[in-house]
Amino acid sequence: MTLNTRTPRCARRFAICGSIFDSPRLKRELAVIEEKTADPAIWADPARSQPLMRDRKRIENLLADDAELARRTEDIEAYFELAREGEDTEGDLAREIPALVDFAEKLEAKTMLSEESDPLNAIVVVHPGAGGTESQDWAEMLMRMYIRWGERQNFKVEINEVQDGDEAGIKSTTFTISGEFAYGLLSGETGVHRLVRISPFDSAKRRHTSFASVFVSPEIDDTIVIDIKPEELRIDTYRSGGKGGQHVNTTDSAVRITHIPTGLVAGCQNERSQHKNKEKAMKLLRSRLYEYELEKKKAVSKKLEDSKLDIKFGSQIRSYVMQPYRMVKDLRTRVEVGDVDRVLDGDLEPFIRGYLRMRREGGVPAAVAVDDDL
């Protein structure tokens, strides 16, 4: 087998991505931050110190990514040079080139995360549509998909609230995915998701279509002020649901808070004490109110709740088809993946990158080939 010693087109294209980091500028910015954090007085003011620490971590990560991209590119160039000299490096190149492409595509996604709230953690809410057990099972599959995605990114995943379905699946869930740019990466997942499959709950083995809605909002920190008046809140307590274990269904420790002017609701049930559940529910509510205000400032034609499309046919953003063929297709970006199981196991990168490209181009759908020849 003859090795083509010319660097592949896609590898050359991604190899130049390092120029976007502008390392000299980043190093200057990091030096300024280090100088500011050397002042002991700044640590007494979280409003000043926390943004600085976030900026320092962001810049350090960018510099590390730049160095890693340069290292991988130099390694591949060295393998090609050895190949030209007669060395057998085909196996090394077959391993390193796809790894470089994957790494560079992830970096490209980071460069498209420029919104103010993109670096924040993500709060994900999943609700089933009409259809009872079938759609509730689909909602649980989506919850697992996003949790697996978070685990693939080495992000922390915390389930805040989950209501089990009557027979299977879930009636609703709220969970937080914590990690760098978690919200920016998941922001395009908001909408209705459609599943077509042979129902495991239908004895006649008929094909069913199910819907579930996903809503993603940023988890805001204490440096962002959201004015919430106590008289605008309705606080309800109830017994935590669950599948057994100590302290389950024994006290009214779960908390649900409703913001009366907007109708926004946040709840938490996973902590043992009512006080901690209330504290986390308030944090979730503040994040949703923050996203609500952002939508108003952007002069979006519909308010936050209107962005949650009707959970029915014709309003979906993505279809997951398991019968009669197997395909996951995003209806906004036209990104398609044939391996449905891979997607449901948390591999959302093609869809995330496709949405970010579309957003960068002003909402014009971008034709994205998932299985391009390397």
The residues spanned by each domain of the chain are 9-111, 121-219+302-360, 230-297
Enumerate residues 6+ apart whose C-beta is below 8 A from 133: 165, 166, 167, 168, 169, 201
Query: What is the predicted pLDDT for the residue at 61?
Result: 84
Give 174-230 pLDDT, tens digit per residue.
999 999 899 999 999 999 999 999 988 888 888 899 999 999 998 876 556 677 888
Burial class (CB in 10 A: 0-12, 13-18, 19+), 154: exposed
Rounded CA-CA distance 293/98 in Å is: 42
- The lowest-confidence range among 253-262, 309-318, 333-342 is 309-318
Higher local confidence (pLDDT), 130 or 32: 32
Query: What is the predicted pLDDT for the residue at 21?
Result: 65
**Contact between 33 and 52 (Cβ < 8 Å):** yes
- The yes-or-no verdict on residue 292 having pLDDT over 90 is no
Which residue in the block uniquely carries the two structure tokens 């014709």?
A: 314
Q: Which CATH architecture has domain 121-219+302-360?
A: 2-Layer Sandwich (3.30)
**Domain 9-111: which topology?**
Methane Monooxygenase Hydroxylase; Chain G, domain 1 (1.20.58)
DSSP code at position 22: -
- The lowest-confidence range among 10-19, 114-123, 257-266 is 10-19
Shared fold status for 9-111 and 121-219+302-360: no
- The yes-or-no verdict on residue 114 having pLDDT over 80 is no
Higher local confidence (pLDDT), 47 or 140: 140
- The yes-or-no verdict on residue 16 having pLDDT over 80 is no
Asked if CATH classification 3.30.160.20 holds for the domain at 230-297, the reply, yes or no, is yes
- The yes-or-no verdict on residue 109 having pLDDT over 90 is no
Categorize the per-residue pLDDT at 11 as very low, low, confident or very high, splitting at 50, 70 and 90: very low
Full-model pTM: 0.67
Mean pLDDT of 302-318: 57
Rounded CA-CA distance 270/245 in Å is: 12
Higher local confidence (pLDDT), 314 or 251: 251
Mean pLDDT of 343-359: 94
Pick from 250, 310, 257, 300: nearest CA to 280: 257
Q: What value, to the nearest 5°, has the Cα angle with vertex 105 and ends 374 and 75?
A: 65
Give 153-174 pLDDT, tens digit per residue.
999 999 999 999 888 999 999 9
